[in-house]
Chains A and B, each alone.
Chain A
Amino acid sequence: MDQYPDENEEFELQYQDELELLEDLPDEFNPYDGPSTSKQAAEKQKENQAPLGLKDNSRFGNSTLGSPQLSQISFGASSQLETEDAGGGHVNRRLFGTPKGPPAGRGCSTPFQRMPAIQELEQTQLTSRDKDANTAAEKLQEVGLKNVNKRRLERDLFGDIDDLFHESYEDPLVKKARTEEQRDHEAIDKILELRRKMRESSKTLRKDDVSKLKDLHDFKMRNLSYEIPNWPFLAIQRSDLERIYVRFHSEDYEQRQLDMVSARGEVVGSLLGEAKDKIWQEAGEIVLSRTASESEADVTLVATNSTTEPGRLWVEKYKPRKYIDLLSDEMTNRSLLYWLKMWDKVVFGKAFHSKQEQEAMAGEAGGGGGGSNNQLNSFNKRTGKFESNGGWRQRKSRQALNTNVDALGRPMQKVALLCGPPGLGKTTLAHTIARHAGYNVREINASDDRSPEAFKLALENGTQMSSVLNTDKRPNCIVLDEIDGAPRQSIEYLVKFISDGVFNKGKAKGAKAEHNILKRPIICICNDVYDPALRPLRQVAFVVTFPPIDAARLAERLVKIAYREQLKTDFGSLIALAEKSGNDVRSCISSMQFFNAQKQCLTLQDVLNNNLGQKDRHQGLFAVWEAIFRIQRPRKTLQTDANKGDEPAQVTMTNMSVNTRVRNVLDAVHSSGDYERLTQGVYENYLQQKMPDPNLTGVCDALKWFCFTDTVQHQISRQQNYSVYPYLQYGFVVWHLLFATLAWPKIAFPTRGFEFQQKSTNQRNIFQALCKGVTTSALGVGQGKTLLLDTVPLLKRILSPQLRSVAVQLLSPKEQQDLRHTIEVMVDLGLTFVQVKSQEGHYVFQTEPDLDALSTFPGFPGLTLPYFSRQLIAREVDLERIRRAAPKGGAPSAPSVAKKKTAGSAAAQLPNHLQTLKPKPISEPNMRSAPKQQLTKDFFGRITHKTTSKNSTEEAKTDAIVKSPIWYRYKEGFNNAVRKDVHIHELL
């Protein structure tokens, strides 16, 4: 019964194609959509045997059955001939078989524009009927709620309607015509329904059939004709090929008729929105007050109501079933839906047009199609208006939806990642939108096995197969719920899965590769988007952050539920409940159910007194710091109410009292819990706050508390003694009381402590490298801190001799001595210079380990060596290292002498190179075997002799050439350099 053609219906009419999707869904039940079709109404009509008082009704009968004979039976003669309105006329015309052509020349008499009027009519009718005020009030209540609810929706929706669903049709003209026809049908249904209700509610008298007949006849006489009439007409061909001319009425006439209808509704008032709103408001108030007063009487009723559905959670019961019911932020919903629609091309094969294309198309159609010019113009005009309102696309830029599509027509971001605190309806949104867009939802949540293997299987099944058993062949949409709890490998697999399609396509384009391409949308849901495991996913996903729901909006929904469940409550307490729960829908509804089961009423006192509905919220660090540095302004309404409810004696207590402030700070601090970081944040920000006291007494007090906090924390971390943990929180109270102001505090994120730690670690590492390098011959430089504090600063000076930039040989004796000293020190300490590329791009010599970085303070010079000296020293240090690494056998001259000796003694056995050149003397066994071998007989059996030994001696003589220590050997194609033995010490 709640099908009222209000503004929302109008909206639905206008965007019929969008709503079509809803209607596609067989299991979708539309609670706002009355099931009464015209056929049903007609049957009812027959049963009633025309208990009709109004001529409209008669026409209704006529129109539904589409046959003049039948309608004539039910037709009652009526004196209200003049009430036939254009709408009725239009109905008739339609039923006589209007062709689907463009409504040429009909001007503004489209049902669409009539809608407000009809709505008004219905409004007035409803409010006027006192007899069944109860039911009417009920309806009104709902209307009111819906309106409050939807008015906002409208506002949000209108800006972007045009680009949301661009079903592409071959010809925009045809499209216009079709949608218009549908609108007409809708309008007809609405009107008929309305009239029927009106009839029923007014319990009109039964008119006699004759007057009805007369009525019809008159009507027909005036509006229909078989010959060409003299009034403006539209020619229509009936099914029996009879040509009929239907009268056209002017707009004024139409309006007049409408006015008359509404006037008959016995309400004298404006039809403008102002009065309507007032009426709605009044009605809402009446209903609210009545429910409040009547609840005692209704107790028994409620009891029966609640027992009818035992064990069903309200959360389930009032779960949004369709898109329009969603409570979450409209922009969020829209962007997600838009994303999902971008999949249409791949999934459904329907083209999806981006906004620009759509506009271009509309403009073209507007220029070309003369017939539908009117329609289009208004359409375009509206678009312009909405855009000026700021469409969601302009505002949603931060949502970072990439509207581009890839080569296959898929959106660039193949996964949507919904994130937000619990209880905002993320899962509901995902499900609703997926169903809305025509998908079959496959959910994988934390309760399923999410090991990488199972995950893989589920993903592949979900994206590449469709269920056989299901009769409707809807494509799957995978919803990965609670993904932040999934193992990292699974998420990595998911990311690979998403990007794999692209990769495969590039690699090989075959039928096989096609299979791997992701062709179904995937929606992931998580609470914490910054979970480390989600990092890879976050980069490729379309991240949709859920803003918290507006408390008032939530409360509106709660009011509705409360009304349905007949829970006695008021708006204020529901707002309080919403705020207390942090706008968690689920928690609110559950709390309401609890109160309902308890005592069937919910007052503000209950809300404030109970711990219900309060979840362990995690507040951001900045929110806590703000709570510390800022005195909260009193929130009057709630707080005074609370005081009144709690202890009426303390109403005078203001919110600014120290007591309250302390409690607020403690609450805020508790909600975060990370005391260490909070402390650091306060520490790095407190000096920026305003301090009235010139002697820094406050600062001293604050610092005492910092010291105390540090001590306690140290105790805890060192001894795992958590019994002192509770004392940590009171420091924040002191800091709040010392530094909090009413002004907005400037709070920077504490980075200094972290930087300090990083830098200290860095320094420590350099220092450790330095310690390791110190050789055993330089232990006098000390160890640990001594080395760092005493030696390093002075070492820098010691290692900075003044050298001219000349060759080593040209240095003065003093300089040479300095250089020698420097080099030795560096080698002792394991230091050297290495060439590194600086940030500016040029090469510098830097000490390794980086002595310059140690013990450096801004404004103090480090090593003052110029580039040249460093280069020189680096070379010399390397040489010295090699020298030291050489085997120690005394002075460098000594081993060479010894080697010469050994060389001399080994002169008998030739040096290596000579040995290789010298042919091997034939050894004794060879000599012995040789005769044996060479006792080969010749052809005639004589023994032949070969003089091999002679040859060898000859070759041995040629050895004299290569006996000198310099030799050369030709190596084929490689090198024929002269070679000589060189020892390392000769080079140094």
Chain B
Amino acid sequence: MALWVDKYRPRELSKLDFHKEQAENLRNLCKQSDFPHLMFYGPSGAGKKTRIMCLLREMYGAGVERLRSETMTFTTPSNRKIEVMTVSSNYHLEVNPSDAGMYDRTVVIDLIKQVAQTHQIEISGQREFKVIVISEGDELTKDAQHALRRTMEKYVATCRIIISVNSTSRIIPAIRSRCLGIRVAAPNETEIVSILQSTCKREGLALPVELAKRVVDKSERNLRRALLMLEAAKVAKAPFTANQEIPDLDWQVFLRETASQIISEQTPGKLEKIRERLYELLTQGVPPNLIFRGLVEQLVNNCDMSIKAKTLEFATEYEHRMQTGAKHIFHLEAFVAQFMNIYKKFLSELVMTDDF
């Protein structure tokens, strides 16, 4: 627990720093006997997982913090072995089925069903159900989600499922309706600043407000990112100063550079260089939708008003199409080429109107 994100993570609902009202509601929820399936949704770094752990502690006590991690092996119908990491205590099991990629259905069927079927051995003073925490639920394939819906109903006596997702849009309605949705919004700026300052205080550091605000800006209100950035900044330069450099995320910088290259030149040769960069991003595991988003943000910022709308229109079109395919590079390149096309047309028209 050396990283600040771990070290100063709230362990109890009462100690949460923001959305305190919601924390109170959750505590009330625990007190009642009928605890529903839950779905925590909200952006990354808003504290969903923290809230889930606090909730579990509220329900089962400190025993839930005695975690052990295991690697489970499954055999898919096509006789392929897949390994999935699980973190579990005596009372709950946390699993990330998307680790199994397209075989997540097997995980849902084998693991979750198996856990859900078994009863708690000792129920003295505890709940009579276990909790399965599914993280990154929106990465679940449709098949896996369909496999999950019946499990949720059938074994409701022995288990509850808590799904943590970024967006509910990729969860099928059947699951959505079975869960109580709890939205965990990203903390606002002042909340993050106060958290950062309290963290620094506990570390024995003084944090200038300007720096804190810049960190918030850079982290896009992602609390995890903000804390990590601050820690990284601290390693670089120990007593904080207001105009200190804050480390960037490499891939974001790389993406920004790519976007500026697109703006700078529109030729097939350039397109090929852009393709190399896109390949690089994909290789490093940056999800294609993030690439899309990063590109669009940068491109729209740097182009004329008249083609902004068109850019967005094409972006949506190509991103949507990308979801139907498997080779993301085609779609990304298609979008880049399309933008080059409209941008170049725009420039030539500009020249023509200037001539007149």
Contacts and interface: CB of A to CB of B under 8 A. Distances in A.
A717 B325 CA distance: 10
Nearest to A680: B327
Interface stretch (A377-385, A419-427, A779-787): A779-787
Contacts of B69: 774-776
Interface in A752-774: 752, 756, 759-760, 763-764, 767-768, 771-772, 774
Contacts of A788: 285
A696 B135 contact: no
A726 interface: no
Contact of A789 (B71, B229, B286, B329): B286
Given A714-B324, A783-B96, A856 B71 contact: no
A713 B9 contact: no
B87 A860 contact: no
B269 interface: yes
B325 A710 contact: yes
A825 B44 CA distance: 22
Interface string A732-768: 0000000000000000000010001001100110011
Contact of B254 (A756, A776, A860): A860
A763 B283 contact: yes
Contacts of A800: 235
Nearest to A791: B228
Interface in B220-248: 222, 224-225, 228-229, 231-232, 235-236, 238, 247
Contacts of A772: 71, 85
Nearest to B6: A780
B308 interface: no
A703 B337 contact: yes
Interface stretch (A232-240, A587-595, A687-695): A687-695
> For chain A, what secondary structure do more than half of its interface residues adopt (helix, strand, loop), or is it mixed?
helix
B330 A706 contact: yes
Contacts of B2: 778, 821, 824-825, 827-828
Interface string B331-347: 10110011011001100
B169 to A, nearest CB: 17
B341 A855 contact: no
B121 interface: no
Most buried by A among B1, B267, B286, B318: B1
Nearest to A764: B285
A780 B3 contact: yes
Given A752-B279, A772-B85, A825-B3, A700 B337 contact: yes
A704 interface: yes
A39 interface: no
Nearest to B333: A703
B250 interface: yes
Most buried by A among B3, B67, B99, B222: B3
A683 interface: yes
B326 A854 contact: no
Contacts of B71: 772
B284 interface: yes
Given A784-B98, A786-B224, A699 B268 contact: yes
Contacts of A696: 266-268, 271, 337, 340-341, 344
B279 A790 contact: no
B268 A860 contact: no
Interface in B118-141: 135-136, 139
Nearest to A709: B330
A797 B250 CA distance: 11
Given A777-B1, A794-B247, A783 B334 contact: no
B334 A703 contact: yes
Contacts of B292: none
B230 to A, nearest CB: 10
Interface string B82-99: 000101000000001011
B334 A700 contact: yes
Nearest to A785: B287
A651 interface: no
A776 B250 CA distance: 27
A406 B333 CA distance: 58
Contact of B6 (A706, A779, A783, A793): A779
A710 B249 CA distance: 31
A687 B334 contact: no
B201 interface: no
Nearest to A799: B235
A703 B271 CA distance: 12
Task: Determine the main DSSP class of B at the interface with A.
Answer: helix
Given A785-B287, A855-B284, A793 B224 contact: no
A784 B136 contact: yes
A801 interface: yes
Contact of B250 (A710, A780, A793, A818): A793
A636 interface: no
B249 A767 contact: no
A798 interface: yes
Contacts, number: 200
Contacts of B281: 857
Contacts of B327: 710, 713-714
Contacts of B326: 710, 713-714, 717
B272 interface: yes
B68 interface: yes
A814 interface: yes
B293 to A, nearest CB: 12
Contacts of A857: 250-251, 253-254, 280-281, 284
Contacts of A706: 330, 333-334
Nearest to B273: A687
A451 interface: no
B154 interface: no
A795 interface: yes
Interface in B1-18: 1-3, 5-6, 9
B49 interface: yes
A798 B232 contact: yes
Given A703-B337, A764-B285, A818-B235, A794 B325 contact: no
Contact of B331 (A710, A777, A794): A710
B109 interface: no
A776 B1 CA distance: 9
B187 interface: no
B321 interface: yes
Interface string A514-539: 00000000000000000000000000
Interface string B134-159: 01100100000000000000000000
B290 interface: yes
A795 B282 contact: no
Contacts of B283: 756, 759-760, 763
A697 interface: yes
A506 interface: no
Contacts of B67: 776, 779
Contacts of B253: 857, 860
B19 to A, nearest CB: 18
A711 interface: yes
A858 interface: yes
Nearest to A794: B228
B330 A780 contact: no
Nearest to B338: A700
Nearest to B345: A695
B109 to A, nearest CB: 19
A602 to B, nearest CB: 49
Given A759-B283, A794-B249, A714 B1 contact: no
Contacts of B236: 797
Nearest to A756: B279
A361 interface: no
B334 A784 contact: no
**5 closest residue pairs by CB, A with B:** A824-B2, A703-B334, A797-B232, A710-B325, A776-B67
22 contacts: A697-B341, A699-B340, A699-B341, A704-B334, A706-B330, A706-B334, A707-B322, A710-B331, A714-B324, A715-B324, A756-B329, A760-B285, A776-B68, A779-B49, A782-B49, A784-B98, A791-B228, A800-B235, A827-B2, A828-B1, A854-B285, A857-B280
